[in-house]
Chain A
Amino acid sequence: MNLLDIRNLSIELVNGDKNILAVDKVSLSMKEGEVRGLVGESGSGKSLLAQAIVGVLDDKWHVHADRFHWRGIDLLRLSIAERKALLSRDIAMIFQEPMACLDPTTTIGEQLSEAIDSKSLTGFFWQKQQQQRHSAATKLLHKVGIKNHSVCLKSYPHQLTEALCQRVMIAIALARRPILLIADEPTATMESTNQNQIFRLLSSLNQLKNMSILLISHDLENITHWTKTITVMYSGQFVEAGTTEQIFNKPLHPYTRALVDSNPSANFHLPAKSRLMTLPGSIPILQHLPIGCRLGPRCPRAQQACVKSPTVTNFHGHKVSCHFPLTPMKVSHKVTKRVS
């Protein structure tokens, strides 16, 4: 059974008379204990998708989905309040800029202890619940590798570094013992040493506590070290999903191919001072989205059929959404025939 199973989720920006489809029918599924990467350029709708899953989008965004299952429970059948209660209990999220995500006027200790579920405390409120909260907060800080807990609990967010703030954010996320942690570019504003520390912390949490992680990033190369499976998005559309080896070694979609090729490490054979491999053009803005496959105008393999949205084809768990998928062209056709 899948932990999370989303089929055809669309997010629409309601803007006066014209609606903009920011995320167009994206599917995402996760298994228990899995670390999945969600990769795409900035503006590809990956953060929107994550926020839609947690349910923290504003009123101006409208979310539709054909299927939204969480551990076998159909969330679309529940009321909004029930869904919110269930999701906030089981899913936690950490954001891009940790310092901006902590209330600047409240101490870390207060923010951490208010995230602790009051059900986990014993006794009535006069029986030293404050102390229990404090010790629970201290334990959480130890879990994320902050040893100097007493100083950290007393300080305000602006007195800590970005990496420490992100650790605190992870501690806050862990307070409810979540089953899924969504990390939305957790290291975007950090130096590489701190980045690795955070990633190591996340992967140890995954291994020790069997916590699933959805890791959102724009940097394909960096997250391949930490993820088992990867989903690629482009301009709000689903592109490709598969294991990390499949995506990195045998990409089926021209966009994923370009993404892998644009890495400096993939370009070692190039002569000095020559241009890196990139797709022409840039990601379309939300007001002028192309119809059909949104990669169409930039795609080297685009043909007339691309003005219609491609359907998702499944090659042994390696899903791709393209009319003319890449390498295993002939083989893949045989495979699909056999499957169908």
Chain B
Amino acid sequence: MPSSIRDKVHRHLDICRQIQPALHQETHAPSPDMIDNAHFRAYTRSPHDIGGEPDIPITWEEKEEEVWEHNTFVTCEVLAWRGVWNAEERRRRQNVEVGETMYLGLPYYGRWLLTAAKILVDKQFITLTELQEKMDEVRKRYE
């Protein structure tokens, strides 16, 4: 239904704006003279490297595990068992290459999952079209 898709698109644009980190300087692809070495280092750092960053106390929680989280863990391990990647490649992709927003914004195994999908496309084991068609087909099973 086109109108409901348009609603989703508009809500998506709103959420995307809301989840952008609160930055204290303009970030509109500045010209090179505006990026000194310290800023280059900051922008290109690995977003997983957070030890020692200040933060406030939170409530420590336990969590029930979702079925998809378990299946994702198993898929990632089996992909490594069968040589599609090694654990170090997985760690880089899911902790660094996802970028800061996804790194902090998605659940732990959510990042594993996205990374498992991406490795299949990046290494040309599947095409992106195959993945997108498969997702569409899987979703339709539940409608």
Q: Do A and B bind each other?
A: no
> Hey, which bits of chain A sit against chain B, CB under 8 A?
none
> Hey, which bits of chain B sit against chain A, CB under 8 A?
none
